[in-house]
Amino acid sequence: MSFIRPELRAALFRWREVIAAAAVAGVGVWLLLRGGWLLGALGAVAVVAGVGLARVAWQRLRFASDPVDPGVIDVLEGQISYLGPHGGGWIALSELEELMLVRADGTRFWRLRQADGRSLDLPVAAVGAEKLFDVFAALPGLGPDRLLRALEGSGPAEQSLWLMRRGPALTRLARADRSSP
């Protein structure tokens, strides 16, 4: 038997990263107030780390939305996959050439296009869409702030957020993706 209502449990789960970052910063403040140069230094490091983690957690929270669109998105080993009720597909990060945010019929979705012209449409509010934040924010020249502004704004029906031409930057991205665990 649980003493926490399901709605509260869901809200706490959604805010878990922000709460953990605030706890790290709180421990840092507590250590700062304990006095001494060692505890003060450890406290200062904890406060800075907590504030940094809270900023990233807040960005992820703003990016994630309640899963109301159909389908499931997964990111695994340099590949973004989508399985929906009327189709699906996958796209390799090393082949990614363009990222667009498209609004059509009241639905928003990410359009990913490969160098060979093949594209994949991912609903913004599909299950697993929150995994795309780290992938998109790591694209060269596309930062998390620009990504969030486009997602929260009401721009044109088709908005190109990132465009990559073949070159050394994409090769570095593909190598970094393969070397990460």
Buried b (16+ CB within 10 A) or exposed e, 32-68: beeeeeeeeebbeebbeebeebbebbebbbebbbebe
Q: Is CATH 2.30.29 the classification given to domain 72-179?
A: yes
Choose among 97, 91, 98, 96: nearest CA to 160: 98
So what's the pLDDT on residue 66? 79
Choose among 50, 47, 11, 15: nearest CA to 28: 47
Contact 159, 101 (CB under 8 A): yes
Residue spans of the domains in the chain: they are 6-63, 72-179
Please state the rounded mean pLDDT for residues 155-161: 83
- Residue 33 pLDDT grade (very low, low, confident, very high; cuts 50, 70, 90): very high
Contact 15, 22 (CB under 8 A): no
At 51-93, the pLDDT tens digits run 999 999 998 888 888 788 889 999 998 899 999 988 889 999 9
Choose among 114, 42, 110: nearest CA to 82: 110
Instruction: Write down the pTM of the prediction.
Output: 0.71
